[in-house]
């Protein structure tokens, strides 16, 4: 009964979305929400850092932590080794804090959240209701009838507007809330783990994030608990000239398991916007974390105007023996992507996996890959990267596999495939391999291919139009990675592949 109602709602929403698409060409999430915002003054300095800390009602130790990070950041230089080119970013010409006015008084429950905000997420297909995710999801017929639950933390510009299923999760001892709430409510956990995977001094963007992060998600899974549902955070940048600096901290205690999903979109704007996130994951003995991202920030228009500059530091620390982490990312958006989700394989027999699809079209640039740092004995890692370039885009895989002296008998397998569509784009593969013991094995395979005219003609002769044919061939190329995604994400990702490549042929 309930499912039926929601299906109808979804259909209504889809119509709206269809209209939105017509207005903004191919990027489906390019509309903005007209909502009264409250900004901190432009630019960044210790006062702004204090203001953000104050807005989040943080304890003094947190404010000090931020200020120390800011102090350090002022002495750092922007990295320039990546194969991406963009106009110099004026870090003083950005807003570092923007929140909807209606969020001034923190809503106590989802019922109190501004309907405009709820409508925004509804329109994005992320209803902030505690319901089965599969209601109205295409292709759901193959799934068990009872569906699956997904808890959502929704971050709108600088603040988290609400988190679903908190009570049900609490029954299992799982903490899932915004990081600002965690700093207030669970300071002992935050103090123990924050900055231990990505140190404050890690890199230019991570250090800036440490100073000015405004919100993000926090997850703690207690020992032996298999999280009863998937957790997800949905990031939406709405305000103009505003950077989004979110911070995510995930702790999987001994023998626990969680699957975490991250989605991102932003309105279509003429000016580029900055996004510099940090994600830290701590995985204790025998625990396992799966982290999946579908990144669909606005990529800029076909001339390279606008779009998100995405400078992200994501790292998982497999601290305990036999711990496991799996990163899966589908990167379709952003004008510039600089992102290397990494695994520190510290525990003996720990395992890290990285599956990536990076699609660049028009003027997009992506420099992305991973780092697998093998410290423990018998550690294993696997990298499967699929880069697709179309238009005038440049796509770089950059990866490091490092076998330390104590990482005896460790193994890595890397497969990097690049696919080119048209003759104006580029694909680059930059693998770094360091092996400092003689019992470990590293394998690296790389291929570069073009979408073949014969394949396209074969598909078209069977009735598919050119774009459908390209999408089919590319989805086939990405299959190994798409299979690693949770069901709902895999379907979304497949459609996204098709949308991202619109206009790439002919």
Nearer to other proteins, 141 or 167 (CB): 141
> To the nearest 5 percent, what fractions of the chain are helix, strand and coil?
25, 35, 40
Nearer to other proteins, 168 or 480 (CB): 480
Region from 278-286, 310-318, 398-406, 455-463 binding other proteins, contact rule CB under 8 A = 455-463
Considering the complex, what minimum distance in angstroms separates the CB of residue 457 from other proteins? 5
Considering the complex, what minimum distance in angstroms separates the CB of residue 479 from other proteins? 4
98 belongs to the binding site for other proteins (CB under 8 A): no
Nearer to other proteins, 43 or 503 (CB): 503
| Three-class secondary structure of residue 315 per DSSP | strand
Region from 8-16, 63-71, 86-94, 468-476 binding other proteins, contact rule CB under 8 A = 468-476
DSSP letter assigned to residue 466: H
Nearer to other proteins, 11 or 104 (CB): 11
How far apart (Å, rounded) are the C-alpha atoms in residues 496 and 278? Answer: 24
Considering the complex, what minimum distance in angstroms separates the CB of residue 462 from other proteins? 4
472 belongs to the binding site for other proteins (CB under 8 A): yes
Considering the complex, what minimum distance in angstroms separates the CB of residue 481 from other proteins? 10
478 belongs to the binding site for other proteins (CB under 8 A): yes
Nearer to other proteins, 24 or 464 (CB): 464
Considering the complex, what minimum distance in angstroms separates the CB of residue 388 from other proteins? 13
Other CB atoms within 10 A of residue 216 CB: 25
Alpha helices in 423-486 (DSSP H): 453-461, 466-477, 479-482
Nearer to other proteins, 86 or 457 (CB): 457
Residues 435-454: x where in contact with other proteins by CB under 8 A, - otherwise, as a string: -----------------xxx
Left, alpha or beta for 323 (phi > 0: left; psi -120 to 50: alpha)? beta
Measured at the CA of 32, the angle between CA 124 and CA 110, to 5 degrees, comes to 55
Considering the complex, what minimum distance in angstroms separates the CB of residue 452 from other proteins? 8
Other CB atoms within 10 A of residue 145 CB: 9
473 belongs to the binding site for other proteins (CB under 8 A): yes
Nearer to other proteins, 104 or 138 (CB): 138
Q: In sequence order, what DSSP letters do the residues of 485-505 get, joined into one string?
A: S-HHHHHHHHHHHHHHTTTS-
- Binder of other proteins out of 480, 491, 502, 503 (CB under 8 A): 480
Region from 22-30, 94-102, 212-220, 475-483 binding other proteins, contact rule CB under 8 A = 475-483
Residues 139-158: x where in contact with other proteins by CB under 8 A, - otherwise, as a string: --x-----------------
Whether the CB-CB separation of 297 and 333 falls below 8 Å is answered with yes
Considering the complex, what minimum distance in angstroms separates the CB of residue 458 from other proteins? 4
Considering the complex, what minimum distance in angstroms separates the CB of residue 355 from other proteins? 14
Considering the complex, what minimum distance in angstroms separates the CB of residue 475 from other proteins? 7
DSSP letter assigned to residue 244: B
How far apart (Å, rounded) are the C-alpha atoms in residues 467 and 415? Answer: 27
How far apart (Å, rounded) are the C-alpha atoms in residues 173 and 222? Answer: 6
- Binder of other proteins out of 143, 464, 498, 499 (CB under 8 A): 464
Other CB atoms within 10 A of residue 203 CB: 18
Region from 48-56, 107-115, 353-361, 464-472 binding other proteins, contact rule CB under 8 A = 464-472
Burial class (CB in 10 A: 0-12, 13-18, 19+), 141: exposed
Whether the CB-CB separation of 268 and 297 falls below 8 Å is answered with no
Whether the CB-CB separation of 268 and 240 falls below 8 Å is answered with no
Considering the complex, what minimum distance in angstroms separates the CB of residue 359 from other proteins? 15
Whether the CB-CB separation of 253 and 223 falls below 8 Å is answered with yes
Considering the complex, what minimum distance in angstroms separates the CB of residue 348 from other proteins? 35
Nearer to other proteins, 277 or 478 (CB): 478
Question: Which string of b and e fits 69-99 if b means at least 16 CB within 10 Å?
Answer: bbebbeeeeeeeebebeeeeeeeeebbbbbb
Q: How many positions of this chain bind other proteins (CB under 8 A)?
A: 24
Whether the CB-CB separation of 137 and 149 falls below 8 Å is answered with no
- Binder of other proteins out of 6, 63, 94, 455 (CB under 8 A): 455
Nearer to other proteins, 123 or 382 (CB): 382
How many Å is the Cα radius of gyration of the chain?
Answer: 22
476 belongs to the binding site for other proteins (CB under 8 A): yes
Considering the complex, what minimum distance in angstroms separates the CB of residue 453 from other proteins? 7
Whether the CB-CB separation of 34 and 101 falls below 8 Å is answered with no
477 belongs to the binding site for other proteins (CB under 8 A): yes
User: Residue numbers of the site for other proteins (CB under 8 A)?
Assistant: 141, 452-455, 457-466, 468, 472-473, 475-480
């Amino acid at each position: 009964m309930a499912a039926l109602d929601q299906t109808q709602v979804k259909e209504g929403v889809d119509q709206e979305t269809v209209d939105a698409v017509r207005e903004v060409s191919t990027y489906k999430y390019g509309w903005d929400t007209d909502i009264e915002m409250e900004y901190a003054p432009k630019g960044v300095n210790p006062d702004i850092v204090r203001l953000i800390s104050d807005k989040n009602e943080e304890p003094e130790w947190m404010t000090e932590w931020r200020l120390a990070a800011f102090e350090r950041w002022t002495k750092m230089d922007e990295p320039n080794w990546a194969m991406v080119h963009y106009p110099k970013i004026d870090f003083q010409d950005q807003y570092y804090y923007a929140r909807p006015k209606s969020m001034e008084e923190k809503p106590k429950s989802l019922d109190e959240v501004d309907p405009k905000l709820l409508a925004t997420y509804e329109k994005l297909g992320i209803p902030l209701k505690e319901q089965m995710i599969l209601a109205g999801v295409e292709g759901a017929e193959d799934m068990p009838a009872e569906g699956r639950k997904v808890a959502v933390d929704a971050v709108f510009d600088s603040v988290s507007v609400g988190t679903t299923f908190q009570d049900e999760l609490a029954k299992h001892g799982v903490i899932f809330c915004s990081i600002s709430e965690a700093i207030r409510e669970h300071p002992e956990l935050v103090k123990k783990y924050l900055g231990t995977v990505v140190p404050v001094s890690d890199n230019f963007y991570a250090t800036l994030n440490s100073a000015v992060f405004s919100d993000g998600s926090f997850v703690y899974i207690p020992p032996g608990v298999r999280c009863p549902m998937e957790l997800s955070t949905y990031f939406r940048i709405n305000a103009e000239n505003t950077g989004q600096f979110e911070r995510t901290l995930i702790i999987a205690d001994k023998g626990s398991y969680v699957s975490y999903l991250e989605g991102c979109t932003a309105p279509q704007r003429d000016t580029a916007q900055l996004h510099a996130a940090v994600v830290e994951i701590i995985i204790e003995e025998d625990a396992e974390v799966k982290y999946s991202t579908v990144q669909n920030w606005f990529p800029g228009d076909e001339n390279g105007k606008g779009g998100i500059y995405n400078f992200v530091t994501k790292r998982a620390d497999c601290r305990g023996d036999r711990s496991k982490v799996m990163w899966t990312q589908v990167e379709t958006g952003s004008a510039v992507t600089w992102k290397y989700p990494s695994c520190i394989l510290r525990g003996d027999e720990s395992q890290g996996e990285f599956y990536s699809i990076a699609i660049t079209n028009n003027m997009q640039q992506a420099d992305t890959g991973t780092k697998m740092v093998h410290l423990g004995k018998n550690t294993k890692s696997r990298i499967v990267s699929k880069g697709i370039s179309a238009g005038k885009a440049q796509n770089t895989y950059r990866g490091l596999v490092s076998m330390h002296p104590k990482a005896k008998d460790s193994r890595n397998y890397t497969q990097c495939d690049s696919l080119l569509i048209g003759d104006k784009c580029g694909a680059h593969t930059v693998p770094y391999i360091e092996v400092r013991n003689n019992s470990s094995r590293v394998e690296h395979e790389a291929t570069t291919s073009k979408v073949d005219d014969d394949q396209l003609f074969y598909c078209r002769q069977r009735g598919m139009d050119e774009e459908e044919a390209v999408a089919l061939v590319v989805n086939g190329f990405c299959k190994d990675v798409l299979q690693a995604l949770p069901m709902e994400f895999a379907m979304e990702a497949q459609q996204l592949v098709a949308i991202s490549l619109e206009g790439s042929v002919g």
